[in-house]
Structure 1
Amino acid sequence: MINIFSILFLAWLALAHQEGTSSQELREKVPDEFEGSWQRWHMKQEHDLDHADAKSVFILHDTRNAKRLSKLDILRMYGLLREEVVGRGDGTGSHDDTEVITDDMKNHLVQQVMSLIDKDGDGEISFDEWMEYSSQGGEFPDFGYGPGHEYDFEEEYEKHHWIQYHAENDPDVMVQHAEDVEHELLHHLHEIEHEKAGSGYNQRFPIRLSKIPPKFKA
């Protein structure tokens, strides 16, 4: 018997399939509610904080507790401390939207941020430099790379969905949401891609649409 997950899986493939594999650029606008402030968007999306002052923003991203933000801290904040963004980066989305993060992207972002805040040019942002920049209305700018998912797509899914809906009352996922289905598809297609890399296998869509019964394509 075909269960609801199988039906959703086949329907998703039918809707998502295109000839070859398309790749969308990492471009995501700041939602209107944040009035153009990427920093506010990031703090709400990733840290669940509606109002965070400059000191809190700094402390949350100072991973070494050194009162300094390094290049790695900046990349982590923007979600670029990885080789690729899988799906939307939050554990859901289409695997066809997975985007490679290049060294050029990383270097450009770090250079731009440092040029704004790192006044002594030592390659890191001190607490004093940040507070001075913030006191003049400065914020971490938007580069169009989304809200800055700081962890990999598995951890992001757990943080943004699993903990809220399944961790306590539904650990066996008896109730499946669209996010659960998307995540499972994303997880399996990502595994297939990396297991079959260089094999010539259809890495992103291993199931042939021609073999899917028409009733599941409607």
Structure 2
Amino acid sequence: MVHKLLGFAAGLLALSSAANAHGSHSDDKAPSDDWATRHMMEEHHIEGFDAPSFFIVHDYDSSGFWTHDEVRKTYGIDDESNSDKSEARKQDAVKAVFDIFDPGNTGFITKEDWLHGIAAGKRLPDVGFGPGHHGDMEYEYEIHHFEKFHGDDTTEEDLVHPQDIEHFRRHDEEEDAALRLEKLEAMQIVLNNIPQKFRRNF
């Protein structure tokens, strides 16, 4: 597990380098006092980036525009840390972003809309959902706990913080569920165990 986490950290450094390299091709500098900057620092550990880089990193399907779902993901609106927020509030948060960067009310934020908005001084608002947790369980554990409290020489015996215990408990749950599914899929179907009403008549 520790080796897997250390490998993940190397991948994150590669992403940081790519975003910084991409940033050198544009004068559309990202502002230093907006939510996007907080997000990139806290969620990606990237400080030097520009507006095109930010857009590309969060255009998850490389379509050239952001959908409502992609904005929700970027802001971490559906992350478990925001499970106490109402759906109405979540939709209002997404609408706030689209009100700024979708001037034509198209339902999409294109890269051009984004760049024009940034050039005009518009910024991503802090809509009250935190820094934007949008990674999977492994990513969020790595970025918000392992990197802060553990190092390259960490052994499994060192992983005793409550966050470590909860993380590995969730891993165990996922592995147990996968094993149960594997056993079910390997079982033979016994026709006599299927109620008649669910059987196809031939």
TM over 0.5: yes
TM-score, scaled to structure 1: 0.55
Is 1:184 matched up with 2:181? no
TM-score, scaled to structure 2: 0.59
Partner of 1:129: 113
Partner of 1:56: 53
Is 1:74 matched up with 2:71? yes
Cα distance change, pair 152–159 in 1 and its aligned pair in 2 (3 A) = same
Per-residue CA deviation, residues 149-204 of structure 1 (Å, 9 max, x unaligned), is 112555301233336765853241x3247xx3234257769x99xxxxxxxxxxxx
Q: Which runs of 5+ in 1 are unaligned?
A: 1-33, 87-98, 193-218
Name the structure where helix makes up a greater proportion of residues.
Answer: 2
- Match runs of 1:205-216 below 5 Å: none
Offset, 1:101: 3.7
**Aligned counterparts of 2:86 and 2:135: Cα–Cα separation in 1:** 17
**Aligned counterparts of 1:51 and 1:157: Cα–Cα separation in 2:** 23
Offset, 1:70: 0.9
Per-residue CA deviation, residues 65-109 of structure 1 (Å, 9 max, x unaligned), is 111011111011111134x317xxxxxxxxxxxx42432122111
**Aligned counterparts of 1:56 and 1:39: Cα–Cα separation in 2:** 11
**Aligned counterparts of 2:116 and 2:155: Cα–Cα separation in 1:** 46
Q: Secondary structure at the match of 1:140?
A: coil
Greater mean alpha carbon deviation, residues 122-131 or residues 34-43: 34-43
Q: Which runs of 5+ in 2 are unaligned?
A: 1-30, 174-202
**Aligned counterparts of 2:137 and 2:89: Cα–Cα separation in 1:** 19
Q: Percent identity?
A: 27
- Match runs of 1:141-160 below 5 Å: 141-160=125-144
**Aligned counterparts of 1:35 and 1:151: Cα–Cα separation in 2:** 23
- Contact persistence 2:75–2:131 (CA under 8 A): yes
- Contact persistence 2:145–2:163 (CA under 8 A): no
Match for residue 103 of structure 1 among 71, 87, 100: 87
**Aligned counterparts of 2:92 and 2:167: Cα–Cα separation in 1:** 29
Q: Secondary structure at the match of 1:100?
A: coil
**Aligned counterparts of 2:86 and 2:138: Cα–Cα separation in 1:** 21
RMSD: 3.0
**Aligned counterparts of 2:136 and 2:88: Cα–Cα separation in 1:** 20
Number of residue pairs aligned between Structure 1 and Structure 2? 142
**Aligned counterparts of 1:85 and 1:187: Cα–Cα separation in 2:** 18
